[in-house]
């Protein structure tokens, strides 16, 4: 049955591929990133980090370091007013998540992962700070560690934390899986392994803090979450209104700047010294110390009818949280909810666990647990199709979710699911196939789909706020506390306000990401910012419009409902116009505010019992389909992605150019994940702490990504947009694996799909070790 | 970086005197593309850095039978030089594989050889070409053959007070050539690289043949067994495969965190066969 | 020590420390923040500047070694306060997201186009392989460089 989709409204600014205001500033390097900031008398800070993954600190003497000339202060755990940092629920929401996750700001008696912070130094120069770090007299006694989740959960394993190594588990049981698999014409079984990866944004963690003239501790920092001002205040034991975080335009975030990075250290050092302090992590430090994406081991059993209908799926997930909880419980929840993919699966059982180890901690990263599972469920889908001799698009068409269906967790799908169209579009985009260029080369095509939640879990009661107002000359100001990670977050807000208030885009200014001066908007994470803050700006703009038109009504002698705002004018039905400055002067005279603050509350819900499949977890989902054409060198195992197309139903593209950018950038990150990226850790020691060893794709490693934007007009964001920040990173690894299977018959189940692994799968290394 | 004294001598005698005076405490700075990372990571902590960039070793000269590359010839010069393209094109191809464009702007032939990274292209090319290196010190000049120059992982026959000043390579305009390389990512150091050079005589038999690998040992490796298996034979695909197998059999490559020994060896064989095939095609074209 | 260099077309005397890189000198001594640091080891290209017209990693150049030479940072491209046409192409084609790679990308692309005025997409990708971008996936950067080369050819 055809699903009816809303007709688009006529729009002027929204939906146009306008170049972003911030792009121009960045193209001339006018943008001051967090590290591009210097204040008179500024100190430079450095961190002493543990070289060991598991050890007791038996000695920590800072006297010699503190006595060095030019060293302002050396801090250890004893010097931190409250040495505990909550890491589970970032952002402004008061409602607490499923568990209190905490860590020490500086290690007390134990370190649990390599790179764990032990002491802080601030000195007159960076060289001095680093020298002082080296001069700290620290001794460790190594203790046994655990380095895989399996080992961590085995009886008798060394315990990373007193409460045990099992950090969290979720379970879904829907229908009768055993019966479904028993009755299936085909059952496909697979085990999939995904690796530890890093966000690897180009801009390392950085910031500058100072105590402003009003005594407020002010931290200008590269962060996705300005609400961390509260965490800083907690640690410093100062009132929350005495800490201000100014978020800079980020040099990339991808979830890696969602947890606290430098801000607490900077707050501490500024408070202790009373001087401005700068901290910039080196790349090595960033790769060593930042939380990463969870590696997973996933076991899937999928049963289908001879016609290709999926009957049941039994799923086991095991993730590695590393040494601290951070957001692991929530990441695992995302995996659990999305584990069966964007398909109708009547019987599903999911057992998901995440364990502590002495590996680098893992937390948020673009896709947030909704990503690892794509590799598994889309590989399974491909195997089922191959087992049945079915076409890749056809099997997905048969099984795709439709409005009204339920996810395994019980959530009813309330919006249109464009999966079949997305599949057909990307498949068609890769026609005709490329002929192999040499006898040792095979070419194949792979398809992979996904669903990714946008917006936060409904029981977190998410909200955002924004202020929109006119200056007397008719120029418009938007204030909203969103951090801009580079995805055009700020610029989209301008488009929305310009659309509603009929102002030309050049006349809109936006102030973002200042916890003291901009209304709080929540985190730029979870693909929520356009959805949440876009809605807040939309609401503020609409309410402001009403407010102003009530004044215009009397000035023009025409009913407000008949007035239009476009081209920086108010238009009456009879053709008369009113210039904005005239209207605004009248507002000032009449005491009508020229600005308006609005709060947008996302649809909220109560925590669900996953096991019984009782209901709504996320506001909504974004769906995608990607297709890859790959060439496999069957002698060396080298895989080249020749062509790539990626389609997402974004509901409505507020700025198609930004949407394309998200799709292309996400797809290439996904290809990096699929084909080359891996944080290699051996017994807790990170072997890839440089950009020469932690490899991300270059321009020469990837093809053009052809973005396919589908606008169903169905989404919960402004003008029916859906979130598109995270979704495109999901499908590429599976699309490549499926394409390799198509080309060669070899099934790669472990990421990254390196040339050596392909060569092994092709039997090229048989008889050797 | 640890503080050090920076000196930039303008004549060779001055440079050599500095090196003699400071010995182990001094480090020569050429393109800096390997040295500066070492300084940044404090893996090298010299007291004196002797910047030799003002010395007149930046030219490529050619006479009848050979090319003379000054030690300060940059990788990009090899890529762009007309005389290299005509008389020893394998150098241009190899240089193109080195790092990224910024590395090639500054990195030098002398630096690459003196640094002696086992995965580097130029040491392998010089090994294949039987290059002769000129080494200067306050004690005078001496010549070292490429095969004797590379003595182990990042180590060479250079004494601390010696400066590499020039490299002589035979002009090989009639040789077919190929550089085949596999790296984990575009522009990265090779996992394995193969350099092949050969001529085919009037009867269609392989005459001179030179084959060397990078990435398969602690230093560049000349594949003599494979050369012997080819010389005097018609370069049929069976013969090339046989030679490649001989080359592979003679290797005992290392494994590291990223690539296993077995895979390196397997790839060395495959790339060797491809390099030979390409070199044969080119040799037949120039004949 | 004092080093004289030509910085963005203007001759300057700069007090440099031998153990500083050009990157540190530009950013920390001179406050020239249009040069970024992404890795400090020559891999990422965020610190790209032109040295006598050729791209180098300023993180791998010792500061005193640039005496007597010409250093160009992104600001050196400014034309009467306006954007260079390649900068305009980057903005128009959406080649800028977070912008952290942008200065290095622009300088590398310009130096490349000097030598190869009409490259195809594959050549552009090869030329930019030493400049990492984590945001855009490169397609729009290649679009921008290609469009600039084409338009310039006609103009
Ligand atoms: C990101 C990156 C990627 C790279 N990729 C590759 C690659 O794929 N392949 C490759 O081959 N190389 C690669 N390199 C290394 C590059 O080729 C270097 O240029 C080269 O190894 C060293 O040359 P240099 O002139 O920069 O030497 P420097 O760094 O100046 O010196 C290197 C060493 O040699 C000594 N030295 C230099 N010149 C002389 C001399 N004339 N006499 C005596 N001693 C001397 C120095 O004291 C020092 O110990 C890469 C480098 C980087 C930064
Ligand atoms: S900072 Fe110099 S190349 Fe990355
Ligand atoms: S735009 Fe962010 S790294 Fe390129």
The closest ligand to the CA of B15 turns out to be 1
CB contact under 8 Å between B187 and A700, yes or no, is yes
- Nearest CA to B3 out of B50, B34, B49 is that of B49
What band does C154 get if pLDDT is binned at 50, 70 and 90? low
The HSE-up count of residue A407 (CA atoms within 13 Å, CB side) is 31
Predicted confidence at residue A609, as pLDDT, reads: 80
* C115 CA: distance to closest CA in chain B (Å): 10
- Tell me if residue C75 falls in helix, strand or coil: helix
- Mean pLDDT over A661-676 rounds to 98
**Residues A747 and B251: beta-carbon distance below 8 Å:** no
Tell me the average pLDDT across A368-394. Answer: 97
Question: What is the number of the ligand 1 atom nearest to the C-alpha of B27?
Answer: 47
Check residue A678 and give its pLDDT: 98
Show me where the domains of chain A are located: 8-31+463-601, 34-143+205-280, 296-400+412-457+607-761
- The model's confidence at residue A5, banded by pLDDT at 50, 70 and 90, is very low
Instruction: Please tell me the distance from the alpha carbon of residue A338 to that of residue A673, in angstroms, as a whole number.
Output: 19
Domain count, chain B: 3
Atom of ligand 2 nearest to the CA of C132: 4
Among residues B4, B38, B47, the alpha carbon closest in space to that of B160 is found at B47
Residue whose C-alpha is closest to residue A116's, from A365, A358, A320, A363 = A358
Q: Which CATH architecture describes the domain A34-143+205-280?
A: Alpha-Beta Complex (3.90)
For the stretch A731-756, pLDDT in tens is 999 999 999 999 999 999 999 999 99
* Distance, CA of A567 to CA of A92 (rounded, Å): 37
> Nearest residue CA, atom 3 of ligand 2?
C42
Domains C2-75 and C85-154 share a fold: no
As a whole number, mean pLDDT of residues A216-240 equals 97
* Cβ of residue B32 closer than 8 Å to a chain C Cβ: yes
Q: How would CATH label the architecture of A8-31+463-601?
A: 2-Layer Sandwich (3.30)
In chain A, which residue's Cα lies nearest the Cα of B99?
A692
Judge if the beta carbon of residue C91 lies within 6 A of ligand 2.
no
Ligand 3 pocket (Cβ < 6 Å) reads A 202, 252, 486; C 96-101, 133-136
Residue contact C134–A254, C-beta within 8 A: yes
Could you tell me the CA-to-CA distances from A19 to A495, A648, B211, C93, C135 in Å, in that order? 11, 21, 53, 8, 16
For residues A759 and A637, give the distance between their C-alpha atoms in angstroms, rounded to a whole number. 4
* CB interface of A with B, residues 109-168, below 8 Å: none
* Helix, strand counts (H, E) of chain A: 18, 30
User: Phi and psi (nearest 5°) for A674?
Assistant: -70, -35
User: Which segment of A18-32, A188-202, B148-162 scores lowest on mean pLDDT?
Assistant: A18-32
Tokens (6 digits) for A765: 């290394």
> What integer pLDDT is reported at residue A8 of this predicted model?
46
**Which residue, chain included where needed, has tokens 């919960």?**
A716
pLDDT tens digits along C25-40: 999 999 999 999 999 9
Asked which of B110, B138, B170 is the last residue of a domain, the reply is B170
What is the SS3 assignment for B119? Answer: coil
Residue with the larger pLDDT of the pair A730 and B1:
A730
Q: Which is nearest to A459 in space by CA: A257, A288, A602?
A: A602
Same domain, yes or no: B65 and B163: yes
d(CA B74, CA B56) in angstroms, rounded, equals: 13
Name chain A contacts of B259, Cβ cutoff 8 Å.
756
Nearest CA among C64, C131, C65 for reference residue C102: C131
Q: List, for residues B216-250, the tens digit of each pLDDT value.
A: 999 999 999 999 999 999 999 999 999 999 999 99
pLDDT at A89: 59
- Mean per-residue pLDDT of chain A: 94
How far apart, in whole angstroms, are the C-alpha atoms of residue A469 and residue B64? 80
Q: What is the pLDDT of residue A12?
A: 87
Global confidence as pTM: 0.97
Residues C120-146 pLDDT 10s: 999 999 999 999 999 999 999 999 999
A463-502 per-position pLDDT tens digit: 999 999 999 999 999 999 999 999 888 999 999 999 999 9
CA-to-CA separations, A343 to A77, A315, A451, A573, A710, in angstroms, rounded: 50, 14, 9, 50, 19
A143 touches chain C (CB under 8 A): no
Strand ranges, E, within A97-195: 102-104, 110-111, 117-123, 137-142, 166-174, 186-193
State the average pLDDT over residues B253-258.
Answer: 96
Q: How far is the CA of A589 from the centre of ligand 2 (A)?
A: 57
Q: Would you say B122 and B109 are in contact if contact means Cβ atoms under 8 Å apart?
A: yes
The CA distance from B61 to B168, in Å, is 10
Report yes or no: A85 and A225 within 8 Å, Cβ to Cβ: no
C-alpha–C-alpha distance, residues A72 and A44, integer Å = 9
Same fold, A8-31+463-601 and A296-400+412-457+607-761: yes
CATH number of this structure's domain A296-400+412-457+607-761: 3.30.365.10
C-alpha distances out from residue A90 to A258, A456, A463, A606, A625, Å: 8, 11, 13, 19, 30
Ligand with an atom nearest the CA of residue C102: 3
The pLDDT > 70 percentage for chain A reads 97
Please provide the average confidence, as pLDDT, over all residues in chain B: 97
Antiparallel, parallel or unpaired: β B206-214 and B221-222: antiparallel
What is the band of B165 on the pLDDT scale with cuts at 50, 70, 90?
very high
The residue range of the domain holding B195 is: 176-286
Q: Are residues B204 and B135 in the same domain?
A: no
> How many Å lie between the alpha carbon of A408 and the closest alpha carbon of chain B?
39
Do B156 and B249 fall within a single domain? no
- Asked if residue A76 lies in contact with residue A118, where contact means CB atoms within 8 angstroms, the answer is yes
Average pLDDT estimate for A190-207: 98
Phi, psi of C41 (to 5 degrees): -145, 25
Instruction: Match 């092994």 to its residue by tokens.
Output: A760
Q: Would you identify the CATH topology of the domain C85-154? A: DNA polymerase; domain 1 (1.10.150)
Shortest distance between the Cα of C62 and any Cα of chain B, in A, equals 7
- Residue A707 backbone dihedrals phi, psi, to 5 degrees: -85, 135
Average pLDDT (A644-672) is 97
What CATH fold (topology level) applies to the domain C2-75? Ubiquitin-like (UB roll) (3.10.20)
Average pLDDT (A46-62) is 98
- Min Cα distance A386 → chain B (Å) is 30
pLDDT band at A7 (very low <50, low <70, confident <90, very high): very low
**C-alpha triplet A70, A75, A80: angle, nearest 5°:** 145
Q: Count other C-beta atoms under 10 Å from residue A511's C-beta.
A: 14
Residue B95's domain is classified under what CATH number? Answer: 3.30.465.10
> Do B66 and B139 reside in the same domain of the chain?
yes
Q: With contacts defined as CB-CB under 8 Å, which chain C residues touch A254?
A: 134
Angle, vertex CA A635, rays to CA A757 and CA B192, nearest 5: 75
Greater confidence (A610 vs A155) lies with A155
Mean pLDDT along residues B23-42: 96
For A649, the token pair is: 């139903």
Which of A636, A692, A697 is nearest residue B267 as measured by Cβ atoms? A636
d(CA C136, CA A569): 37
Give the position, in ligand 3's atom list, of the atom nearest the Cα of A251. Answer: 2
Sheet with B5-7, side-by-side order of all strands: B5-7, B48-51, B26-29
Using CA atoms, how far apart are residues A739 and A286, in angstroms rounded to an integer?
34
Rounded mean pLDDT, A81-97: 64
| pLDDT at res. A402 | 97
């Amino acid at each position: 049955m055809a699903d009816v989709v809303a007709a688009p409204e006529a729009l002027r600014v929204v939906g146009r591929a306008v170049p972003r205001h911030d792009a121009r500033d960045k193209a001339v390097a006018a943008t001051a990133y967090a590290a591009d900031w210097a204040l008179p008398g500024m100190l430079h800070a450095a961190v002493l980090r543990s070289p060991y993954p598991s050890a007791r600190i038996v000695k920590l003497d800072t006297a010699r370091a503190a006595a060095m000339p030019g060293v302002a202060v050396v801090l250890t755990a004893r010097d931190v007013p409250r040495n505990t940092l909550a890491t589970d629920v970032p952002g402004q929401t008061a409602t607490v998540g499923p568990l209190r996750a905490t860590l020490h700001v500086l290690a007390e008696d134990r370190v649990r992962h390599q790179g764990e912070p032990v002491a802080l130094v601030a000195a007159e120069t960076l060289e001095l700070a680093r020298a002082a770090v080296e001069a700290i007299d620290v001794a460790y006694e190594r203790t046994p560690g655990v380095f895989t989740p399996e080992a961590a959960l085995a009886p008798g394993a060394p315990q990373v934390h007193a409460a045990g190594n099992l950090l969290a588990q979720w379970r879904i049981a829907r229908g009768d899986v055993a019966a479904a698999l028993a009755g299936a014409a085909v059952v496909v079984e697979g085990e999939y392994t995904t690796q530890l990866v890093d966000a690897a944004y180009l801009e390392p963690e950085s910031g500058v803090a100072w105590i402003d003239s009003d005594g407020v501790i002010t931290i200008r920092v590269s962060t996705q979450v300005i609400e961390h001002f509260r965490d800083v205040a907690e640690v410093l034991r100062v009132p929350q209104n005495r800490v201000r975080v100014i978020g800079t335009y980020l040099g990339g975030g991808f979830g890696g700047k969602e947890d606290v990075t430098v801000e607490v250290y900077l707050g501490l050092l500024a408070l202790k010294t009373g001087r401005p302090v700068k901290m910039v992590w080196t790349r090595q430090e960033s790769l060593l110390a930042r939380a990463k994406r969870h590696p997973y081991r996933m076991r899937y059993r999928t049963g289908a009818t001879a016609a290709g209908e999926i009957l049941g799926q039994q799923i086991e997930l095991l993730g590695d949280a590393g040494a601290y909880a951070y957001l692991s419980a929530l990441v695992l929840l995302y995996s659990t909810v999305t584990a069966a993919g964007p398909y109708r699966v009547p019987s599903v059982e999911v057992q998901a666990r995440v364990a502590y180890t002495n590996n680098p901690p893992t937390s948020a990263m673009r896709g947030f647990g909704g990503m690892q599972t794509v590799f598994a469920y889309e590989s399974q889908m491909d195997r089922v199709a191959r087992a049945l001799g079915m076409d890749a698009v056809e099997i997905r068409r048969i099984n795709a979710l439709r409005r009204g269906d339920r996810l395994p967790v019980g959530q009813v799908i309330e919006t249109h699911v464009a999966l079949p169209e997305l599949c057909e579009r990307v498949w068609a985009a890769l026609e005709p196939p490329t002929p192999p260029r040499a006898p040792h080369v095979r070419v194949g095509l792979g398809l992979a789909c996904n669903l990714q939640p946008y917006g936060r879990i409904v029981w977190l009661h998410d909200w955002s706020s924004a202020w929109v107002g006119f200056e007397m000359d008719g120029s418009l100001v938007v204030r909203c506390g969103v951090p801009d990670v580079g995805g055009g977050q700020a610029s989209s807000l301008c488009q929305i306000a310009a659309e509603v208030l009929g102002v030309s885009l050049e006349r809109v200014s936006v102030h973002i990401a200042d916890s003291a001066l901009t209304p709080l908007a929540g985190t730029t994470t979870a693909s929520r910012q356009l959805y949440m803050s876009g809605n807040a700006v939309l609401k503020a703009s609409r309410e402001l419009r009403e407010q102003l038109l009530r004044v215009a009504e009397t000035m023009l002698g025409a009913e407000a409902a008949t007035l239009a705002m476009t081209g920086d004018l108010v238009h009456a039905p009879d053709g008369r116009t009113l210039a904005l400055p005239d209207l605004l002067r009248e507002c000032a005279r009449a005491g009508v505010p020229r600005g308006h603050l609005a709060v947008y509350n996302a649809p909220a819900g109560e925590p669900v019992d996953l096991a019984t499949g009782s209901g709504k977890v996320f506001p909504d989902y974004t769906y995608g389909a990607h297709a890859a054409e790959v060439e496999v060198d069957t002698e060396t195992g080298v895989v080249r992605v020749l062509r790539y197309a990626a389609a997402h139903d974004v509901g409505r593209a507020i700025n198609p150019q930004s949407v394309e950018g998200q799709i292309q950038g996400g797809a290439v990150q996904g290809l990096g994940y699929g084909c080359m990226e891996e944080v290699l850790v051996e017994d807790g020691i990170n072997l890839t702490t440089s950009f020469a060893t932690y490899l991300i794709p270059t321009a020469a490693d990837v093809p053009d990504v052809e973005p396919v934007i589908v606008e169903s007009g169905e989404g919960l964001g402004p003008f029916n947009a859906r979130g598109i920040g995270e979704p495109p990173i999901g499908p590429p690894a599976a699309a490549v694996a499926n394409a390799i299977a198509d080309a060669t018959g070899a099934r790669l189940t472990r990421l990254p799909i390196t040339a050596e692994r392909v060569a092994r799968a092709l039997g090229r290394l048989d008889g050797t070790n | 970086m640890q503080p050090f004294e920076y000196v930039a001598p303008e004549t060779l005698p001055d440079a050599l005197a500095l090196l003699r005076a400071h010995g182990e405490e001094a480090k020569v700075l050429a393109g800096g593309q390997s040295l500066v990372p070492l300084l940044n990571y404090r893996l090298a902590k010299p007291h004196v850095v002797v910047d030799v960039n003002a010395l007149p070793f930046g030219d490529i000269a050619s006479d009848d039978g050979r090319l003379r590359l000054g030690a300060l010839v940059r990788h990009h010069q090899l890529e762009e030089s007309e005389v290299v393209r005509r008389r020893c094109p394998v150098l241009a191809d190899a240089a193109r594989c080195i790092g990224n464009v910024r590395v090639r702007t500054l990195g030098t032939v002398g630096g690459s050889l003196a640094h002696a990274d086992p995965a580097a292209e130029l040491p392998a090319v010089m090994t294949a070409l039987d290059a002769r290196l000129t080494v200067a010190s306050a004690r005078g000049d001496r010549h070292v053959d490429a095969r004797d120059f590379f003595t182990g992982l990042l180590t060479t026959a250079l004494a601390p007070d010696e400066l590499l000043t020039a490299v002589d390579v035979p002009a090989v305009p009639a040789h077919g050539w190929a550089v085949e390389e596999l790296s984990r990512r575009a522009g990265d150091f090779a996992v394995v690289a193969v350099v092949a050079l050969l001529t085919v005589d009037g009867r269609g038999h392989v005459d001179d043949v030179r084959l060397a690998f990078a990435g398969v040992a602690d230093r560049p490796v000349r594949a003599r067994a494979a050369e012997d298996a080819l010389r005097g034979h018609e370069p049929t695909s069976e013969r090339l495969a046989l030679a490649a197998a001989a080359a592979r059999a003679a290797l005992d490559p290392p494994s590291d965190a990223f690539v296993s020994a077995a895979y390196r060896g397997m790839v060395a064989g495959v790339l060797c066969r491809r390099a030979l095939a390409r070199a044969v095609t080119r040799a037949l074209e120039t004949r | 020590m004092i080093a004289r260099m030509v910085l963005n077309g203007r001759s300057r005397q700069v007090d440099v420390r031998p153990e500083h890189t050009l990157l540190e000198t530009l950013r920390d001594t001179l406050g020239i923040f249009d040069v970024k640091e992404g890795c400090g080891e020559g891999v990422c290209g965020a610190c790209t500047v032109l040295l006598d017209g050729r791209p180098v990693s300023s993180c791998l150049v010792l500061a005193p070694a640039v005496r007597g030479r010409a250093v160009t940072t992104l600001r050196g491209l400014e034309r009467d306060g306006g954007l260079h046409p390649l900068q305009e192409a980057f903005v128009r084609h959406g080649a800028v997201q977070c912008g952290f790679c942008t200065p290095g990308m622009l300088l590398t692309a310009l130096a490349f186009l000097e030598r190869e005025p009409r490259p195809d997409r594959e050549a552009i990708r090869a030329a930019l392989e030493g400049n990492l971008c984590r945001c855009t996936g490169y397609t729009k950067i290649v679009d921008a460089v290609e469009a600039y080369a084409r338009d310039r050819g006609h103009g």
